Structure 1
Amino acid sequence: MTSRHESTPIRRGLQGAPVLMAALLGLVMIALAVGGPAGPPQPPAWAAAARAADHSGPLLPRSAPLRVRIPAIGVQAPLAHLGLNPDASLQVPPAGRPDLAGWYRGGPAPGERGPAVIVGHVDSPRGPAVFYDLGRLRPHDRIEVDRADGRVAVFTVESIERVPKERFPTERVYGPLDHAGLRLITCGGRFDRARRGYRDNVIVYAHQTAVR
């Protein structure tokens, strides 16, 4: 079983926010997909609907995130700090660490105003990776991010969707916010053996509701 990574080019836009080039977004590509032809768990269509939410939660100063915890799916993952590759593509967590997620340090930190972005592999040559079960999340589930300043930013899931990579919702993911938001991103959908990659992305949208 072999593996390779597809880069994630970005460009600048949306008032300075980093913007993923949708068609090329891919966090892991392996020769044999995990989970059979249907692929990893996928969110139901109803979970993608936007819901009214109270965005008056607290804002925090910038502080690097150290770990993300998602109790509903048993995730407790350390966070790598990701930058850009020489070709301006977004780095991804190391292939040899399927337990590791990654925060894009060029954007807001979790707890700051704006959309903080955390990415993770869906699988690896050895089996499921950190965000394999991301599609099982549902609105109102909790996400916690431990920060270097000792605070814990607590987020509540608003919606979760699966989208084709060529129609990645750039503005919704990276557009400016008046509150502290969080986006979790991985691959999803069916595995395309010809292209050696997943066809879709699974994206979780959440907002900060508490600080501990």
Structure 2
Amino acid sequence: MQIRQPIPRPTARARPIRNARKKLLATLLEQLYETMNTQTVINTIQLIIAPVVMVTACAVILNGLLTRFATINERLRSMTHERLELLRTPDSDGFAIERIAEIDEQIPRVLQRHKLGHDAVFGVYSAMVIFLGDMFVIALALFINEGWLATLALLVFLGGICAVIYGVSLTLREIFISLSSVTYEVKRVTSLKPFSLKTKKPE
């Protein structure tokens, strides 16, 4: 037969601590209940929706950026593959020599565009992460009601805006470089003469 040991009762010193914890918890719950009315909940949701709108805008921007990035990636791969195929041709083939010269001139520009596209996509994705984190900061600032949290929420939101501007600016630069690449190729091809492709020798 097992003998049950008596449950130790809280000492006189532990009782005031437990009572203080209960009072503190009751006070926090009461304050939360007072602040959590219908209007406060509505205002909280409205403030949290602002970063959600920016996340949606970033998703729309990313759709175009990823399409351009995939196109640049495919063009870079096709140019390198074409250069390998042209290297198999005889040295006396003027067309192959001319085309290799054009590819060697364009590949650095396409690589630069590829790097800019990569950084732009990374910047917009970073902005989405920042806006998602800002949603939690806004909710925390409304419940805790601290001034520094409200300032932090604003700074985080502005940080997301800066990330979007960074990504879009890189895209504008990439578009400018793409224009120069197309202009070079068109001018180079239109300047060629039919006989020059037959007699051109490697330098």
- Same fold, TM exceeding 0.5? no
More strand by share: 1
- The TM-score, its normalising length taken from structure 2, stands at 0.18
Using structure 1 for the length normalisation, give the TM-score.
0.17
- Give the structure with the larger helix fraction: 2
